[in-house]
Structure 1
Amino acid sequence: MDRTEKLHIAMFPWLAYGHIMPFLEVSKFLAQKGHRISYISTPKNIGRLPKLPPHLSSNITFVELSLPRVHGLPSGAESTSEVPIDKVPYLKKAYDQLQVPLTEFLKNSNVNWIIHDFAPYWLPGVTAPLGINSVFFSIFNATSFVLMGPPSVLLGDVRKRPEDFTVVPEWIDYPCNIAWKLHEIVNHQQCMDDVSDFQRLGLLIQGCQFVTKRTCYEFEPDEIKLLIKLYQKPVVPLGLLPPSLPSNEDERDEKWEAIKSWLDTKGEKSVFYIALGSEVNLSAESMHQLALGIEKSNLPFVWVVRKRPMGEGQMDNHQDIIPPGLEERVSNRGLVLRDWAPQLQILAHSSIGGFLTHCGWSSIIEALMFGRALILFSGASSDQGLNARLLHGRKVGLEIERNEVDGSFTSDTVAATIRQVMVEPEGETIRSNAWAMREIFDNEELSKNYLDEFNRFIEEFTPSVSHNQV
C-alpha cells in the first residue's frame, strides 16, 4: 500500500482493565502514526480510561456500545473486576451480544482493520464479508499460547479432562517443563461459558490475518518461532509495552506521598511489595495462611489488599481478609493499603527489592522493568500459573510451593520463599537475574522498534484501501 495512505483501525478489547489498557497504549501509538482509531468498548470501561494527550485526541474516537442485560450478570457490571469468577461466563454472554451493534458500526464506518481480543469468536464471520482485515492481539506472552496449542487442538477434543492440561504437550519442540497445575485449570474452567476460551481462541486464530502478542524475541525466541509454525501464519511480537511512570504533576497524590514517605525510611531493596491483582479471590483460609507467612518472614513489606465481588451465597468477609491483630503486630515494618495503590511508583522506589505477585503478565512486566525479584504465587486463572513456571525456570523468581490438586499451602512455605528471594544467600542468583532483566523490560528503544515493525506490518499487509477509503 501507499505509505502516505492512512488507515481506519478499530480496537475491540475484552472487558477487563488488564486488557483495556494495553489496547489503549497500542491505539495511542497507531494514532501517533496518523491512523484514525475507533476504540470500542462499553460506557463504563471507556469512562475509566485516562485522558488522552491533546495531540492524539483528534485521531482517537471512543465508540460506546451498551452492554446488553443478561440474566445472571450483576446489574451494572461491565468488567471482570466487578464480578466473581463464577459470574464471568455471564459477562461473556453479554459481550457476545455486542455482535449486532458492532456489526452495524463496522458496516457504516469504512474500517480497514480491527484489532481484537480473545473473546469475540464470531468476529471472522462479520469481518470477512465486509473485507475488513483482523489482527488477534493477545495481551499474554508466547509461552502461554504455545501451551494452549494450534487451532486443531484448541477446536478438537485432544484434551478431554482437566488432567490433560497438567502435562507438557508433545508439539513443543524445545526443552520445556511448563504446564498447568490441576487446581489452576479447574479454577479457570469456572469462568468459561458454553463456548470455551479454547474454542474462542481457535476460531479467532484461524480467522485473523495475523496474530500479535505482548512479548519480544529477546525474551521468548523459541516460543514465538514455534507459534508461527503452529499457526501457519504470521505472529508479529508487539514488544512488552512497558508503561510510563506518571509525570511529576500527576504524582501530587496524597496517598502516594504518604507511601513514599514510609518507603523513604527503609533501606535499599529491603522491602517486598504484595499485590494479587484485581481479580484473584482466595478463600479466607488461604488469605490467612498468606498473611501469616508474610508476618513470619520478619521483613518489611507493603501489601495492597483488594476487596473482591462476592459470589452467590458467600459472606462478605472484608474485615476477615487479614487475620485479627496482624496489622497491630507488624505496624513497625508493614504497610497495609486498602483497595488501590500506585503500583508503578511503588515498584520504582529504590527500597523495593521484591514483588509477591499473582503472576499476571502486566504485573510481571512492571516488576522486571525495575529489576525486582519475584515471589511467584499463581492467581490460578488463565495464564498466571504458566507465567509462574516460566519465571521460576528463568531464575528471576521463586514459586511458592502449593498442593497441585487443591492449591493449598502453608504460612511456613510462604515465609521461607519470601526470605530466600529477598535476603538468603541462595537467592542471590534470582536477585541478580531479575536486576539484569531491566535491559529487556525497560528498554524504550526496543519497545519502540517492535511497535514500528507492527505498524509497518499493518501498513504493508493491507492490499489496498481504495474500496474502503477513510
Structure 2
Amino acid sequence: MDRTKKLHIAMFPWLAYGHTMPFLEVSKFIAQKGHRISFISTPKNISRLPKLPPHLSSNITFVEFSLPQVDGLPPGVESTAEVPIENVPYLKNAYDKLQGPLTEFLKNSNVNWIIHDFEPYWLPGVAAPLGINLVLFCLFNATALAFMGPPSALLGEFRKRPEEFTVVPEWIDYPCNVALKHHEIVNHIKCMNDVSDFQRMGQLIQGSQFVTTRACFEFEPDEIKLLIKLYQKPVVPVGLLPPSLPPNEEKGDDKWEATKSWLDSKGEKSVFYIALGSEVNMSEESMRQLAFGIEKSNLPFIWAVRKRPMGEGLIDNIIPPGFEERVSNRGLVLRDWAPQLRILAHSSVGGFLTHCGWSSIIEALKFGRALIVFSGASADQGLNARLLHGRKVGIEIERNEMDGSFTSDLVAKTIRQVLVEPEGEAIRANAWAMKEIFDNEELSNNYLDGFTRFIEEFVPSACHTQIS
C-alpha cells in the first residue's frame, strides 16, 4: 500500500473504559499522520472520553451506536463498570447485536482497516466481503496471550476443565511461572456467554491480517517471539502506551489539592496506594480481611474506593465500619474517583496495592513503584500477578488457590515486605529500574510509528512473513 495514501480506519473497542482509552490513544497517534479515524462505540462510552486536541478533531469522528436492549441487562447500562461480573454475558449479547448497525456503516464508509478488540468474533465475516482489513488489538500483554495459546488451542476441545488452566501450557518454550489459580479461572468463566472469550479470540486471530498487543520487546522478548510462532502471522506490538501526566494541575480540582497537601507531609516513598479498579467485586469477608491487613501494616496509605455494581444497585460503603476512624492519623480514603496518575507520580508514594489490571501496572511502573500484587481474579489479572511476582517487581499476597481467600496478617506482611523490610530491597530496586522502559516516551512513539507504518505499507502477501 502506498504510504502517501490517506487511510480511513475504524476503531471498535470493547465496552470498558480500560479498553476505549488505549484505543483512543492509538487513534490520536494515527490521526497525527493524516489518516481519518472513525471511533465507534456507544453514546455513554464516548461521552466518558477526554476531549480531543483541537488539531486532531477534524481527523477523528466519533460514531455512536445505541446499545441494543437484551434480556438480563438493565436499561442504560453500556459498560462493564456498571454491572457485576455475572451480568457481563448480557453485555456481550448486546455488543454482538451491534453487528447490524456496524455492517451498514461499513458498507457506506469506504473504510480501509478496522482495528478491533477481542470480542466481535463475527467481524471477519462482515469485513472480508467488503475488502476491509482487520487488526486484532489485544490490550493484554504478550505473556497473557502466550498463555492463552494458538488459535487451535483457543478453538479446540482440550483445556475444558478449570484445572487445565492452572498449569503452564506445553507450548510455552521459555522459563515461565505464569498460570491461573483455580478461583481465577472459575471467576472468569462467569463473565462469558455462549461464545467463550477463547473462541472469540481464536476466530479473530485467524480472521485478522495481523495482531497487535500492548507490549514491547524490551519487557517481553520471548513472549512476543512465541506469539509470532503460535499465530503464524505478523505480531506488531503497539508499545505500552504509557499515559502522560496533565501538563499542569487543573485549577479548582479540590480533591487533588487536598490529596497533594496530605502527600506533601509524608516522607519519600513512605506511602502505599490502593486501587482495585472499577470492576473488582469482593465478598464482605474479603473486604474485611483486606482492610484489617492495611490497618495492621502500620504504614501510611491512600485507598481509592469506588462504588461497585451489585445486582440492580450500587453498594455505597464497602469499607468495614470504624476502619476510617481508627486509621485517620495515617490513612486517606478517597471515594468514587481518585487522580491515580498524579498520586503515583508523587515522590511520597513508594508502592501500589493493585488488582493487576495491565493499565494500572503500566501506570505504576512508569513511576517505578513497587507492587503489592492482589489479583482481581478475572481476565488477565491473575496472569499479570504471576508475571510481576516472577519478574521481582512486586510480591503477591498469598491466597487459597481454590477459593481465593486470604488473611489480614498476610496482607500486612506483604505490604511491609514491599515497602520497608530489607527482603524487599531488590523488589523496590527492580521496580524503579522499570522506569527506563515504562516511562520512555521515545520508545513508545517508536512502537506506535512502526505499527502505523505496518498498516500504511501492508500488502496481502505480508500476512505470512515476519516483520521485525
- TM-score, normalised to structure 2, is 0.97
| 1:281-336, Cα deviation, whole Å (9 max, x unpaired) | 00000001000000000000000111111136xx96533x2121111111010000
Whether 1:433 aligns to 2:427 is no
Aligned to 1:337: 334
RMSD: 1.1
- Amino acid aligned to 1:102: L
Aligned to 1:215: 215
Distance 2:360 2:459 in 1: 34
The answer (yes or no) to whether the contact 2:210–2:235 under 8 Å persists in 1 is yes
Residues 1:317 and 1:27: Cα distance change in structure 2 (over 3 Å): closer
- Amino acid aligned to 1:416: K
The answer (yes or no) to whether the contact 1:86–1:311 under 8 Å persists in 2 is no
Distance 2:316 2:449 in 1: 46
SS in 2 for 1:281: coil
1:318 pairs with 310, 316, 319, which one? Answer: 316
Aligned to 1:370: 367
Aligned to 1:408: 405
Distance 1:167 1:157 in 2: 17
Aligned to 2:267: 267
Aligned to 1:8: 8
The answer (yes or no) to whether the contact 2:118–2:136 under 8 Å persists in 1 is yes
The answer (yes or no) to whether the contact 1:42–1:65 under 8 Å persists in 2 is yes
Distance 2:203 2:3 in 1: 31
| 1:173-208, Cα deviation, whole Å (9 max, x unpaired) | 111111000000000000000000000000000000
1:386 pairs with 383, 390, 402, which one? Answer: 383
SS in 2 for 1:309: strand
The answer (yes or no) to whether the contact 2:112–2:132 under 8 Å persists in 1 is yes
SS in 2 for 1:109: coil
| 1:392-436, Cα deviation, whole Å (9 max, x unpaired) | 000000000000000000000000000000000000000000000
Aligned to 1:452: 449
| 1:140-186, Cα deviation, whole Å (9 max, x unpaired) | 10000100010001001111101110011000111111100000000
Structure 2 residue runs without a partner (length 5+): 462-468
The answer (yes or no) to whether the contact 1:289–1:409 under 8 Å persists in 2 is yes
Q: Map of 1:14-413 to 2, 5 A cutoff?
A: 14-248=14-248, 250=250, 252-311=252-311, 317-319=315-317, 321-413=318-410
Structure 1 residue runs without a partner (length 5+): 465-470
| 1:42-61, Cα deviation, whole Å (9 max, x unpaired) | 01111111100000000000
- Amino acid aligned to 2:316: H
Residues 1:251 and 1:154: Cα distance change in structure 2 (over 3 Å): farther
Distance 1:249 1:416 in 2: 36
Give aligned-pair identity as a percent: 83
Aligned to 2:464: none
SS in 1 for 2:310: coil
| 1:215-264, Cα deviation, whole Å (9 max, x unpaired) | 10000000000000000000000000000101215364111001000000
Residues 1:177 and 1:264: Cα distance change in structure 2 (over 3 Å): same
- TM-score, normalised to structure 1, is 0.97
Aligned to 2:466: none
Distance 1:316 1:91 in 2: 18
| 1:48-84, Cα deviation, whole Å (9 max, x unpaired) | 1110000000000000011000010011000000011
Distance 1:316 1:247 in 2: 34
| 1:11-45, Cα deviation, whole Å (9 max, x unpaired) | 00000000000000000000000000000000111
- Amino acid aligned to 1:430: I
Distance 1:396 1:64 in 2: 40
Distance 1:441 1:316 in 2: 35
The answer (yes or no) to whether the contact 1:371–1:438 under 8 Å persists in 2 is yes
- Amino acid aligned to 1:276: L
Q: Which moved more, 1:155-164 or 1:296-305?
A: 155-164
- TM-aligned CA deviation for residue 3 of structure 1: 1.9
The answer (yes or no) to whether the contact 2:269–2:348 under 8 Å persists in 1 is yes
- Amino acid aligned to 2:156: G
- Amino acid aligned to 1:445: E
- Amino acid aligned to 1:439: E
Whether 1:442 aligns to 2:454 is no
Aligned to 1:468: none
The answer (yes or no) to whether the contact 2:309–2:315 under 8 Å persists in 1 is no
- TM-aligned CA deviation for residue 2 of structure 1: 2.1
